[in-house]
Structure 1
Amino acid sequence: MRRKLVITAGLAVTMVSAGIGIASAAEAAVPTVNCPQVTVNVNVPAQAQAEVDNNLRLLDQQINEANNRIAATVGQGGAGFIQNAILGPLKDKRFAAINRIETAISRNAARPDLKAETLATCTLNENGAAPVVTTPAAAEPGNNLGILTNTCDTSNLAPHDGFQIGNRCVSTEFGEVGAAANNSTLLITRAPGQVRRNQPFTLQVSTRNLIRDRFLAAGQGGYYVESSVLQNGLVRGHFHTACRILDSQNQAPAPEPVPAFFVATEDNKGGAQADTVSIQVPGLAQAGTFQCSAWAGDGSHRIPMMERANQTPALDSVRVRVR
């Protein structure tokens, strides 16, 4: 079922039961943001209705938060403070929210063009228009489980830009998850127990329910930027293989060192049936115990999602002794 909506978000007015609220003289001295209206005037599929409504409410909430921050930081930061610290981030948040509305609709209908680039930019009311927008209360997300957040709009971190940099907030939606019988699995089927230093060896890796045809280069800004996409119910992606030395076998290793060996496999093969790929390791120079691992990734390098929480993700590890 679909219904035609004409919904707007972003009006900088205060609606109260008695009519339209008027800003006081004191409030008028404080600048407020002036954002274009976001209007959804297309048929919204029933499946997308809740997500569209939530993002429209979020657009109004973003205006409220920006105005509150302006009021709380009057006189701070110099001439460019409001533009750099408030209007700039607000533009990014509005663009993301409008894009999420378009994406939600596009899952079951043609993708609308809501002019996100144009409508994301807000200006400043130097004379201080009424700063608060009142919207209906939204249903609590996360099935009332008390989730911490489900959006980067509540984060103080900079937006993730597709490059391999931490302390960022990733706003990319998770995307599509397949049925349990179609979820990806992976197994290292053959590996040597021991090799000499610099001796080449082979790891054999088997994957199932993984179409190995999608790999966005992380070094070129393709990291965490694409939602998971299914083809005939199967994840499109690739798998990684890496070997790292273990300083101890009694505690978890440090996460940041670069592995001694790493390769991504996107060979335009794979599918619903299990097949096996031979990974050639050119040799490991350092003596010690190595953890050699393989794990599946979607197009943007995340381990594919599973239908249930008690399914084992598509990853495996073995120990290889280098002497």
Structure 2
Amino acid sequence: MVPDPELRVLSWNVQGAVPPNGSIERIENQIKFLGEEANLPDLVMLNEVTTVQRGRWRESLAEIGYTEIIDTLEWAAELRESTVPPHQDYNHVNGNLIALHELSNASELTRLSPSIRYGPWENADLKDWDTNVPEKILNAKVTLGGREIELWNIRAVPGSMHGEEKLNILENTYNRIMKGTESPCILAGDFNSPKAELADGTTIPWRHDQEGELAQRWKEAELNILLGLEEKGMADVFRVQHGYGELDILDVSHATRTDDPESVAPAEVKGKRFDHMIASEELNLQDCYYDHAGFHCSDHAPLIADFNA
């Protein structure tokens, strides 16, 4: 018999990029999904939580036992009111949230605030914290079994809309983890990457067929965040569990080429695998899957992973 996991983690883009998608009804359906279908994961790491519904999210999560909650929505709200360029070009209507359930084996969810002043790289030329949308990066830690686990919850904005800002988010996160993370780590979120994955395991980033300095930077940013953290002992938990090629399970998270993903079998859903979880191998992955049922209240399927840390 497989033992119950010590830590169940859910990562989910709740589709709040457009404010109406943060409606009370949608939030209620997503809260119901967390409680009744996802069985109250220990940690939930959410993307695109709308700023205007921050109170609703916090109240609703608390009602189902998520008593420790952190988010970046106050950053988004403050920047949305800014008249300083270039913030008028960003809507700043949503951010990221992490919540810890009161019955979890983990405890002490603490938000971290990376600074360009400190770290093991004081003499470096780049301080790795240069994004105009800081609400898309939420750094935190929890304690499990007497040791800390570092958490990174990110959402890379679409490159087609925001260009290099996507690269800033990916590069900042990758460099921070590589240079500063010493404890076991879980990185999760919507990376808006890659463009494709082949059956032999080849990862194809956006702009892979273009030349020039920006295209090269683009390819490196995506491949570093998706594959480069292996140097840090971190791996893509879905691929560790299931491998590549034709799978009989849901292996995409954003149904870009299936109009009604709920109406077809999970293996028949067509789209992109944009949502990822990359975790330290020492956390001992037990299981990992995209939950097809989540499509009924978001255009992304949640990714769930069980660890026996």
Same fold judged by TM-score > 0.5? no
Q: TM-score, normalised by structure 1?
A: 0.21
Q: TM-score, normalised by structure 2?
A: 0.22
Greater gyration radius:
1
